[in-house]
Amino acid sequence: MQSLILASSSPYRREILDKLGLNYTHSSPDIDESAKPGESIPDLVKRLAEEKALAVAEQFPHGLIIGSDQAASLNNQILGKPYTSEKAFDQLKASSGQRITFYTGLAVFNADQQTMLSEAIPFTVHFRTLTDEQIRAYIEKEQPLNCAGSFKCEGLGIALFSKLEGDDPNTLIGLPLIKLISFLEQNQFSVL
């Protein structure tokens, strides 16, 4: 069986991949994550997922390397990680009553065959209309300062939403398992 390598330092992505009960290694890719002029959000996350997989392939010349990247979009503007409570408040205030689309880029690079499968997978969340007090309480309880869009849907963040739309809820957390399983199977790697 081929070895699996997750090209990520994200503990959230590791938690998701752990659900499959597979043995894998993880390594943090070092790439420039800047958007190119005129690059769409889906194109950006797909390219970055590919670049992360290729960067880690330099250390691991054999096996299947999984790259992933995510960006949240509000009115076609990227919502990044806030890093401060003030920026988290501003993001959640802007998101209140709105639709946010998360695009998760997924790439599987077969280092032995030098082939790449990749896609940008969308997932949309509909935010409830939130009061300033609700937003502050959420930030204080959850501390989502290192999360794109300023929330953790796997925790209390679910209380911010009125509706979720997408094929795989893992996409929202950062690693779309349904598509990943398909990409692995296309590389003759069975999860079951």
Catalytic residues: 69
Q: What is the dihedral of CA 130, 133, 138, 141, to 10 degrees?
A: -170
User: Alpha-carbon distance 53 to 92, whole Å?
Assistant: 31
What's the distance, Cα to Cα, between the start and end of the chain in Å?
12
Going by the DSSP 8-state scheme, the letter that residue 19 receives in this structure is: T
Percent helix / strand / coil, the chain, rounded to 5: 35, 25, 40
User: Alpha-carbon distance 22 to 17, whole Å?
Assistant: 8
3-class secondary structure, 156: helix
CA distance to 5, 74, 87, per residue, from 57 (Å): 9, 33, 35
Bridge partners (DSSP) listed for residue 73:
78, 101
